[in-house]
């Protein structure tokens, strides 16, 4: 169409001498000068024609910096912030963070020129009161700078650089006068380092399933480059899958096949290397809770541990029907977030009735599993007490509900202090054997219920104090009260 179309204005303030780069389908602009130096950074979405402010540039506010992208990362550095700069920073658009990298290899400067190709970045020329023509190559894998051949023209600043295919070009600028000469740059040798490629990780995969990756297209190499794989097999241009080393050229399409783990909540990985550039393909199986059966009635049950795998960054977590704990922390039913490597357990109470299943459904991201807990069958054992077909303990009968606060306190006291030792378990077994008769007797007798309540409250109070950790304070309080009483009596006797 050979036309220009105006798009949405830049999201930040007006400015000059900003820096920009592109990552994938998004563009980025930041820093610059309008009488003051800036460090804000903005992302442009051409599909929506919108600007979104991102994390501020990691270094000092500045103008006349250099920016370029390598693979899925953006890079910016050098420039002027009132003084000349040589710091260099990497931007991760997924995590929205800046990370400082090795300082630029040459002298601090502004108004340099830069570009990137084949997993390498280049910065050269510029000004710091003197004009420069040195040129430097940045290796993003090794995080090092290496000096290359000086720029072929005069030392200058304000030049322009770009790529056409694999060729690099620099021209124009100022070297005490405006210039228009134009130069091609050869970093040396035939490149067998392709542009960075990436495979999309897959999650929630069935155990042992063979999974095929997305297709990547080889680009950025000048000649055939070696390709190898560990942990899986690859196919070139829909050919046979193989684990043998081979070669690829520009335009070749590659897919990876990988068998998922035979375990739940486990990640399998394959690494493809083309030239000196690598990428992983990760396949994570569904996390699974081991259901539990023959569980005692009305008991807190904790699931097996699952690990958060396969997520990039934080993922939302929620639960229905129970509570969850992250990394051994407090159990909660509130929505939250988890990160890669976090460990999760689920807890819920078993039913009040025999042969009954209760469930908790945990969701991480868009992946869910249910933890089922089924109580044991009714067989007249010490854990199964029914009166008229309804389970009924003395406290339950006295307070009219198994969920009454007083009953819950006694239940927690039982689980924490009685069922954890032989004597306590024997007492609980005796209580389960003899309690139903008392419970059945008082169930429809208000006066008897009142008497039982009065008898139980001291035990409930003691259990509450013990469970909440107030017992030491109570003992200290009683000791001080007794001491004050003795002191007052002694004083009175002395007075008499």
Higher pLDDT pick, 222 / 121: 121
Indicate if 51 and 172 belong to the same structural domain: yes
pLDDT-above-70 percentage for the chain: 90
* pLDDT of 322 strictly over 90: yes
The tokens describing 422, both together, are 């032989």
Q: Are 231 and 200 in contact (CB under 8 A)?
A: no
Indicate if 41 and 158 belong to the same structural domain: yes
Indicate if 242 and 104 belong to the same structural domain: no
Q: Is 409 among the domain residues?
A: yes
* pLDDT of 383 strictly over 60: no
The tokens describing 254, both together, are 């590659």
Domain range enclosing 221: 202-285
- Give 378-404 as a DSSP string: PSS-TT--EETTEE--HHHHHHT-TTS
38 pLDDT band (50/70/90 cuts)? very high
End-to-end Cα spacing for the chain: 115
Indicate if 134 and 50 belong to the same structural domain: yes
- DSSP code at position 157: B
* Whole-number average pLDDT of the chain: 86
Identify the three-state secondary structure at position 233: strand
What sign has the CA pseudo-torsion 147, 151, 156, 159? Answer: negative
**Among 184, 124, 183, which Cα is nearest to 156's?**
124
Whole-number pLDDT of residue 265: 77
Higher pLDDT pick, 245 / 118: 245
Indicate if 72 and 170 belong to the same structural domain: yes
Average pLDDT over residues 62-78: 95
Q: Is 3 among the domain residues?
A: no
Q: Is 437 among the domain residues?
A: yes
Indicate if 306 and 404 belong to the same structural domain: no
Q: Is 247 among the domain residues?
A: yes
State the pTM of this model: 0.43
Residue 24 CA to residue 289 CA, distance in Å, equals: 38
Average pLDDT over residues 439-459: 83
Q: Is 491 among the domain residues?
A: no
Whole-number pLDDT of residue 35: 95
Burial 238-247 (b: 16+ CB within 10 A, else e): eeeeeeeeee
Indicate if 268 and 208 belong to the same structural domain: yes
Indicate if 297 and 415 belong to the same structural domain: no
* pLDDT of 387 strictly over 60: no
Q: Are 193 and 277 in contact (CB under 8 A)?
A: yes
Q: For 398, list phi and psi in degrees, rounded to 5.
A: -65, -40
Q: Write down which residue in 236, 252, 285 finishes a domain.
A: 285
Highest mean pLDDT among 102-116, 137-151, 284-298, 449-463: 102-116
Indicate if 357 and 304 belong to the same structural domain: yes
Q: How many domains does the chain have?
A: 4
Residue 146 CA to residue 139 CA, distance in Å, equals: 8
User: CATH no. for residue 180?
Assistant: 2.120.10.80
* Tens digits of residue pLDDT in 457-496: 888 888 787 777 766 666 766 666 766 666 666 666 666 5
Indicate if 304 and 272 belong to the same structural domain: no
Lowest mean pLDDT among 54-58, 358-362, 473-477: 473-477
286 pLDDT band (50/70/90 cuts)? confident
Q: For 488, list phi and psi in degrees, rounded to 5.
A: -70, -40
Strand 367-375 relative to strand 292-295, pairing: parallel
Average pLDDT over residues 248-261: 93
Burial 153-178 (b: 16+ CB within 10 A, else e): bebbbbbebeeeebebebbbbebeee
Whole-number pLDDT of residue 492: 60
Identify the three-state secondary structure at position 261: coil
Q: Is 492 among the domain residues?
A: no
Indicate if 308 and 344 belong to the same structural domain: yes
Helices (H) and strands (E) counted in the chain, each on its own, are: 5, 35
187 pLDDT band (50/70/90 cuts)? low
Q: Is 133 among the domain residues?
A: yes
Q: Write down which residue in 354, 375, 396 finishes a domain.
A: 375
CA separation, residue 36 to residues 16, 80, 206 (Å): 11, 12, 56
Q: Is 456 among the domain residues?
A: yes
User: CATH no. for residue 362?
Assistant: 2.60.40
Average pLDDT over residues 88-117: 95
386 pLDDT band (50/70/90 cuts)? very low
252 pLDDT band (50/70/90 cuts)? very high
Residue 238 CA to residue 255 CA, distance in Å, equals: 8
* pLDDT of 388 strictly over 50: no
Largest CA distance in the chain: 116
Indicate if 151 and 214 belong to the same structural domain: no
- Give 127-155 as a DSSP string: ESSSEEEEEEEEETTTTEEEEEPPPSS--
Residue 458: left (phi > 0), alpha (psi -120 to 50), or beta?
alpha
Q: Write down which residue in 350, 375, 400 finishes a domain.
A: 375
* pLDDT of 69 strictly over 70: yes
């Amino acid at each position: 169409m050979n036309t220009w179309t105006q798009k949405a204005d830049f999201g930040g303030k007006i400015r000059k001498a900003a820096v920009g780069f592109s990552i994938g389908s998004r563009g980025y602009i930041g820093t610059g000068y309008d009488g003051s130096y800036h460090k804000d950074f903005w992302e442009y979405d051409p599909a929506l024609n919108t600007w979104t402010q991102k994390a501020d540039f990691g270094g000092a506010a500045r103008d006349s910096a250099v920016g370029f992208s390598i693979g899925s990362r953006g890079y910016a550095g050098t420039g002027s912030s009132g003084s000349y700069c040589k710091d260099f920073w990497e931007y991760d658009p997924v995590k929205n963070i800046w990370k400082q990298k090795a300082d630029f290899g040459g002298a601090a400067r502004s108004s340099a020129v830069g570009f990137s190709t084949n997993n390498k970045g280049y910065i050269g020329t510029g000004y710091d009161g003197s004009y420069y023509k040195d040129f430097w190559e940045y290796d993003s894998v090794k995080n090092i700078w290496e000096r290359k051949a000086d720029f072929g023209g005069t030392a200058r600043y304000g030049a322009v650089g770009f790529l056409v295919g694999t060729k690099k070009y620099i021209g124009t600028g100022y070297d005490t006068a405006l210039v228009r000469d134009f130069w091609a740059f050869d970093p040396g040798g035939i490149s067998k380092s392709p542009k960075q490629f990436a495979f999309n990780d897959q999650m929630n995969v069935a155990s042992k399933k063979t999974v095929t990756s997305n297709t990547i297209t080889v680009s950025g190499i000048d000649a055939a480059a070696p390709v190898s794989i560990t942990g899986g097999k690859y196919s070139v241009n829909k050919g046979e899958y193989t684990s043998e080393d081979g070669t690829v050229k520009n335009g070749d399409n590659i897919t990876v096949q990988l068998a998922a783990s035979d375990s739940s909540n486990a990640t399998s990985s394959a690494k493809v290397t083309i030239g000196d550039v690598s990428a992983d393909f990760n396949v994570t199986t569904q996390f699974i809770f081991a259901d539990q059966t023959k569980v005692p009635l009305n008991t807190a049950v904790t699931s097996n541990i699952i690990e958060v795998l396969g997520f990039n960054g934080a993922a939302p977590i929620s639960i229905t029907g129970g509570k969850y704990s992250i990394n051994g922390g407090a159990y909660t039913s509130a929505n939250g977030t988890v990160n890669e490597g976090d460990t999760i357990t689920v807890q819920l109470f078993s039913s009040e009735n025999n042969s009954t299943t209760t469930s908790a459904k945990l969701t991480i991201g868009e992946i869910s599993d249910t933890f089922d807990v089924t109580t044991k069958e009714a067989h007249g054992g010490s854990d199964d007490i029914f009166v008229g077909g309804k389970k009924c303990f003395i406290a339950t009968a006295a307070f009219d509900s198994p969920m009454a606060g007083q009953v819950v306190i006694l239940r927690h006291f039982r689980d924490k202090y009685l069922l954890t030792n032989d004597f306590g378990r024997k007492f609980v077994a005796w209580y389960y054997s003899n309690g139903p008769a008392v419970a059945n007797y008082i169930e429809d007798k208000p006066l008897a219920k009142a008497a039982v309540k009065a008898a139980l409250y001291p035990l409930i109070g003691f259990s509450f104090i013990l469970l909440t950790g107030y017992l030491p304070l109570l003992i200290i309080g009683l000791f001080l009260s007794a001491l004050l009483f003795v002191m007052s009596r002694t004083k009175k006797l002395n007075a008499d």
